[in-house]
Structure formats: C-alpha cells, structure tokens
Amino acid sequence: MSQSTIRSVALATAQPTVGALDDGEFDLVQSFIERLFPAFEQRGFSFHVSSDFAEFVAIRRASANGFVYPTYDPAQSRVTPANAFWVKICNAAGEVIAGQATRLFDTSDFYMLLRSGRVWFDRTLAPVPDFPFACALPNCAGRIAHLGGLWVDGPYRGNKLATLICATTRALTLRNFGFDHETGLCFEPIALKRLPIESYGHPQLALCIDGYFPVSGKPERMYLSHVSRAQALAQIAAGWGLAEPAAVQPPIGAAA
C-alpha cells in the first residue's frame, strides 16, 4: 500500500483537531508505526487495534485485582470508535497478554472536565461527589488524549514491553485522531517509582488528588502525568520505545 493511500485511509477516520498532523509529521508518525511490527515480533508478540471495550472490560475484570478504569468502561463512559480505542498485545498462541486504552476529549478546560468527574463517568448525569483537586502542572485545552488501563501479564514483564505499548498507543492516537496533549492518572506507588516518566513517556508528573477519589470511592493520592504534542513528536523522531528489550531510553523533550 502506498504512503498516499495509507494517509487517505487514516485521515478518513481521523477527527478534525487543532493538533492535527501536517504532511511531514504524518509521514514521521507513519514511519514509526511501520517500525512497531518488527519491534513486537522480536519479542514474540503481535499488536492489534480494537474498539471492543466490552472485551477490554472482561479481560481487566478477570485480572488479579479486577480493577477497570471507568473511562474505558462502556457502562460508565460513552466510548465509541470515534473517540477511543485500545491496543491488544497477543502472544504466539493468540492469547491476549497485555494492553492499553485511550480516550479523546475536546475541551477548553481539562481540569474543569476532571473536577466534574466526566473524564470517568459521562454515561449518566448523576453528580460526582466533590473531591480535592490541585495540580502544579499547567492546565491544558484542545484535544486531550487520556491514556490508561495499561497492564502486562506477569510472565511477560521485564522486557520493556510496557514502554513499547505506550509508544504504540501514542503514535496511533497521533495518526488517527491527533492530539494537543496526552495525559494519564496513576496511584502514588506507581508515581513514586517514576514509571510515568521513565517507562510511559510522560515527562511531566505531579500530585493532583490528595483525598477522596471518585473512581475508587476512598481516599487516594493520585498523580497526573502529561506529554505535549511537541514532546510526543520528538519522542517519535528519536525512536523512543523501539529499543531492544535490554536497552533503556529516557523520555525525550522538555515541557512545551
């Protein structure tokens, strides 16, 4: 398939956004995506893009802790192929052994969207109980990709697979939707290990909730992580996430 044909197919499903890629950026991202196939194959895996969130929820509920982030649960949020997808990683036997999801929000005030609870629960008009939210990171606006639900089954951890999955989801989101910012939320133990910065490709990380968290229904210390569109493109240009399993690559790019 020619590059022009690939571009036409991708743009046919992309949504208009301020952060849409220009021709040069599109070619950069598409080239990176083509390099993902051998990166997974050398680890003995394949990756697939899905909008079947019923399957995603079923797999997550069957996991060790059964936790499902409500942003990607069709019973809680209005996830559709027009605003969300997840990346499914399979082993040689075709078994799903890892994955990650993302959802797009178009908003003039992302923090207001978070405070409203609609990032997690927009299937109902029921109000979300008040919770404390204060973050040292600057607010963002435009098209926001909210990344989450990452897991890797125990026997397959330790070969930089989580980093490769994050790089894959980010590149596919940029190509098919475009974004101005990509964000994520994590519990404090993950933040203290600096996994969002060192493994997930989010150079900005700060505490944002210290108290009641509507998702878990109890007090938590939650951290917001962030990568800008410019940083994401710089990561892709540097090949971040494509290293051999034994290699270590820090996130690329200063705050933009």
Provide the b/e sequence for 32-62 (b: ≥16 CB within 10 Å).
bbeebeebbeebebebeeeeebeebbebbee
- The whole model's pTM is what? 0.87
What is the predicted pLDDT for the residue at 192? 97
Mean residue pLDDT across the chain = 88
Residue pLDDT, tens place only, 179-197: 999 999 999 999 999 999 9
User: Cβ(214)–Cβ(164) under 8 Å?
Assistant: no
Residue pLDDT, tens place only, 235-248: 999 999 987 554 44
| Alpha carbon 110 to its chain's center | 16
pLDDT above 80 for 125: no
The domains of the chain, with CATH numbers, are 3-238 (3.40.630.30)
Tell me the pLDDT band of 63, cut-offs 50, 70 and 90: confident
Tell me the pLDDT band of 18, cut-offs 50, 70 and 90: low
Q: Which runs of consecutive H residues, i.e. helices, occur in 136-187?
A: 161-176
Q: Residue 106's beta-bridge partner residues?
A: 143
pLDDT above 50 for 101: yes
> What are the distances in angstroms from CA 246 to CA 10, 43, 153, 176?
33, 11, 18, 30
Phi-psi region of 253 (alpha: psi -120 to 50; beta: other; left: phi over 0): left
pLDDT above 70 for 115: yes
What is the predicted pLDDT for the residue at 20? 78
DSSP line for 122-137: -S--PPPPP-----SS
pLDDT above 60 for 149: yes
pLDDT above 90 for 17: no
What is the predicted pLDDT for the residue at 72? 97
Tell me the pLDDT band of 19, cut-offs 50, 70 and 90: low
Tell me the two tokens of residue 39.
């990166």
Q: What is the mean pLDDT of residues 135-150?
A: 97
pLDDT above 80 for 229: yes
Spatial distance between the Cα atoms of 39 and 161, rounded to a whole number of angstroms:
10
